[in-house]
Amino acid sequence: MRDLKDTDDMKTLASCLNKIVKEGYSENFKVNDNCLQSLETGKAYEPNRVQIVNFFRFEGASDPSDSAILYVIETDDGAKGSLTDAYGMYGDPDVDKFIGEVENIRKKNTTHTYH
């Protein structure tokens, strides 16, 4: 995946989503029962099956509390997509917990690679 941070058209959540979909990250994910679930296929992934390949934070133009974070995700079976959440005090604690587990697993297992 190219470094998407350097492009000028990545300043809004909508433009960033459009760009990553063009890059092949087309599945939409949600966190459900401490698993990442694809809204398209219904498949569920435990934290050890997930890698966060990039993330982007956005703040609302008129209200800094209107904030979102976009996670660009790959799974061990090749699914590629995104998970969007508010961040800060409005963030979903289940998403925060899941992302924290993914990050902890990656820190412990630096030899696992994704395509």
Show the 3-state SS of the chain: CCCHHHCCCCCCHHHHHHHHHHCCCCEEEEEECCEEEECCCCCEECHHHEEEEEEEEEECCCCCCCEEEEEEEEECCCCEEEEEEECHHHCCHHHHHHHHHHHHHHHHCCCCCCC
Supply the pTM of this predicted model. 0.81
Residue 54 has a pLDDT of 94
115 — pLDDT class (breaks 50, 70, 90): very low
Count CB neighbours of 75 within 10 A.
Answer: 19
**Joined tokens for residue 47:** 């934290």
Residue 63 has a pLDDT of 60
pLDDT digits (tens, 9 = 90+) for 20-72: 999 999 999 999 999 999 999 999 999 999 999 999 998 866 566 668 999 99
Residue 9 has a pLDDT of 59
Output the average pLDDT for the chain: 85
